[in-house]
Each structure stands twice: as C-alpha cells, then as structure tokens.
C-alpha cells in the first residue's frame, strides 16, 4: 500500500506562488491497489481519483488541475476542495449571533459563498497523520482564527481521507470551536464525471437522489425557508433518471439546489445520499453521509477552464454532490442549526462507494 508526497518541484510542475510555497503545499497519494487518490493539503483537495470500469479500464473521474499552482491561481470553481467555515450561500453576507451582528465578504452576487474570499479551500492545511497498510489514510488540520473572513472565534478543523475498502473512500471532517460560538458547515466540492474527467458533459449520467424535498430559492439563490416536494417537477430524482432529461426546465443554467435528505437506507451509520451511474463505462458511485442535505450542482458556471492533461472543462462537464447543512441556515431558524458552541464538536462524514453494473 502506498502513501507518498511530492512537492511541485519534484514533479516538475510550475513553481508555486510564494504564499503556497512558504506553507509547503504538496501532493500526496493513497493507493489500495484498486482506487488511487491524489490529494493536496492546499484546500484539503482531491486532485485525482482513479477507479476501474467494468472491463478493468482505469480512469480519473474528478475534474481538476495538473499543478498546485493552478489551484492557487485558478480554482474559482472550487474543484475538489473542502469549503468552509460555512459552505454555500449566506444571504447578503450577514448574520446575527449572541447579540452581535456579523458581516462577511460578498463574493457571489449579493451573498457570501463558501467561506468568503479566502475560505478553507484557499489555505494550506497541516498534515498531522499519515497511515499506510490495508486502509491508507491522511489527516489534514487547519486552525481558523477569530475574525477570519468575518467569522467569530478560533476553530480547529480536521479532515481525514481513508480508503476503507478496495472500492470505498471515506471522508471524516471535524471542527471544534475554542472560545466563541460560531456557525460551522463544511462541504466537500469534488466534480464527478464517471466516464473520465476529460470525457465531455455528464448529461447522460443517471442520477438518483434520496431526497423527496428541496429548499426552493429566490432570484439570488437563497432559500425562501420553504420545503418543496420534488414529485412531478424537474427536481425529481427519487427514481434514477438522466441528468439532462429535465435540466432545461430548471430556472437558470441548471441544477444548483439543496435536497433535504430522507431517512432511509443506512450504511456505517450514514444515510444514502445519491447513486450516480455512467452508462458508457458502467461505473457507479453511491454516496452516504450524516449531513441533513446535499447540494446537487451541475457545473453551470464552468466555462472553458483549462484542466488536467490538456482537457478543457465546459458547462455540465461534471456534477457535485455537496453534503452539508442547509444554505443560509444561520438566518433560517426553521432549518437544522449549524451553530456550534465551545465544548461541542462539529462532525460530518461522507462515504464514496464505487462499483460497476
């Protein structure tokens, strides 16, 4: 079993920016003989993930870049990273907590998105543990300070990627506020294309989402506070259907909506989120989590992005399944709370299970 690290220089990648280089942004590999995952401590990001198809042909099924420098300079699409302190949108970048009004950077129309201008995806995490063996793993740690991007209190965050079996990857995220009550809502933002990252759009992928309701949004993509049943609408993925079958009926450029996850099938203490299948390769991804929601996003704003190996990523070239708390939950008292007090611990796990059928 292999777990290795290499700097940008050693892999003959372009020189990193001073900020990234000073903090030692590196690549690491987890390999169990069936799945091979490359991650970087810049943003705790998955940069590649190789899995076989039904014929044993291996392909990299996540969108990304060849060099760390490209993530530093170009990752406006949040390829593969962990976003926080609060994922998704906060209305007008404002919230009120414990008698204090907080203002966050505005970086998405009138809203604050994915932690602000320099969220957890744009910092270098420390590598605190690496394990080899049958279940290779790596643990990243980041300490977010009081006032960082407008958020209150110091928070220690860890993220552990583990190959738990021959065809499963598990991500366990934890966050502990040290001295102030604060909102915390982490999400993992990989773009999946099970046909291979450079194979075009995912409109033929078959998707089933274990959510019978969404949180509908206003013109600025902020939830209205309502819960809308998906039955009979373009948002209905309760049964397997093609991504592209109803996408033109969705207001805007495509899917970018939070699904309320149903309590149903369970695995390792996690509930089923979604099943994704690429008909061309027969690769299947089943996703499990303990989060209350999942943002289903179809790469609507990806447009001519230069990716790995000379690939150019266009609209709908991948899909994201970002398990998380509900968007703007800090301002919606009827949504599950994302507020964490000192002495408590935020936990969020995801299990990615690969197969062929």
| 89 marked as binding residue | yes
Beginning with the edge strand found earlier in the chain, give each strand of the sheet holding 58-60 in spatial order. Answer: 2-7, 26-31, 36-40, 45-52, 58-60
CB 225 within 8 A of CB 334: yes
Annotated catalytic residues are 189, 322
Taking alpha carbons only, the member of 84, 90, 163 closest to residue 123 is 84
280 - beta bridge partners? none
Beta-carbon neighbour count of residue 210 at 10 Å? Answer: 21
The answer to whether the annotation marks 256 as part of a ligand binding site is yes
Separation CA 193–CA 134 (nearest Å): 27
**Does 88 appear as a known binding residue?**
yes
190 is in an annotated binding site: yes
Q: Is 108 annotated as a binding residue?
A: no
- Beta-sheet pairing, 270-277 with 320-324: unpaired
Residue 109's nearest CA partner among 186, 219, 255, 252 is 219
Are 40 and 47 within 8 A, CB to CB? yes
Query: What residues form the annotated binding site?
Result: 88-89, 189-191, 256
Query: What residues form the annotated binding site for beta-D-galactose?
Result: 88-89, 189-191, 256
């Amino acid at each position: 079993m292999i777990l290795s690290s290499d700097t940008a220089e050693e892999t003959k990648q372009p020189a990193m920016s001073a900020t990234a280089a000073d903090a030692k942004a590196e690549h690491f590999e987890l390999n169990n003989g069936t799945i091979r995952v490359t991650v970087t401590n810049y943003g705790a990001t998955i940069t590649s993930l190789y899995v076989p198809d039904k014929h044993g042909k291996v392909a990299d099924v996540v969108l990304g870049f060849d060099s760390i420098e490209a993530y530093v300079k170009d990752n406006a699409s949040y390829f593969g990273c962990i976003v926080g302190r609060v994922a998704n949108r906060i209305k007008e970048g404002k919230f009120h907590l414990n008698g204090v009004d907080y203002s966050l950077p505005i970086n998405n129309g009138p809203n604050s998105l994915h932690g602000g201008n320099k969220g957890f995806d744009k910092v270098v995490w420390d590598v605190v543990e690496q394990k080899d063996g049958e279940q290779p793993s790596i643990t990243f740690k980041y300490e977010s300070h009081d006032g960082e991007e407008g958020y209150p209190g110091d928070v220690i965050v860890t993220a552990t990627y583990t190959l738990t079996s021959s065809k499963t990857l598990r991500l366990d995220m934890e966050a502990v506020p040290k001295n102030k009550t604060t909102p915390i809502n982490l999400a993992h933002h990989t773009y999946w294309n099970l046909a291979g990252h450079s194979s075009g759009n995912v409109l033929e992928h078959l998707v089933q989402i274990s959510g019978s309701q969404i949180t509908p949004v206003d013109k600025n993509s902020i939830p209205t506070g309502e819960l809308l049943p998906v039955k009979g609408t373009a948002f209905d993925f309760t049964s397997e259907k093609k991504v592209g079958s109803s996408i033109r009926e969705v207001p805007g450029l495509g899917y970018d909506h939070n699904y309320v996850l149903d309590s149903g099938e369970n695995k390792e203490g996690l509930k089923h989120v979604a099943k994704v299948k690429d008909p061309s390769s027969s690769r299947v991804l089943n996703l499990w989590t303990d989060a209350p929601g999942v943002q289903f996003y179809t790469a609507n704003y990806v447009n001519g992005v230069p990716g790995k190996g000379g690939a150019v990523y266009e609209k709908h070239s991948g899909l994201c399944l970002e398990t998380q708390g509900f968007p703007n939950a800090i301002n919606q008292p009827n949504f599950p709370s994302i507020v964490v007090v000192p002495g408590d611990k935020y936990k969020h796990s995801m299990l990615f299970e690969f197969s062929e059928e």
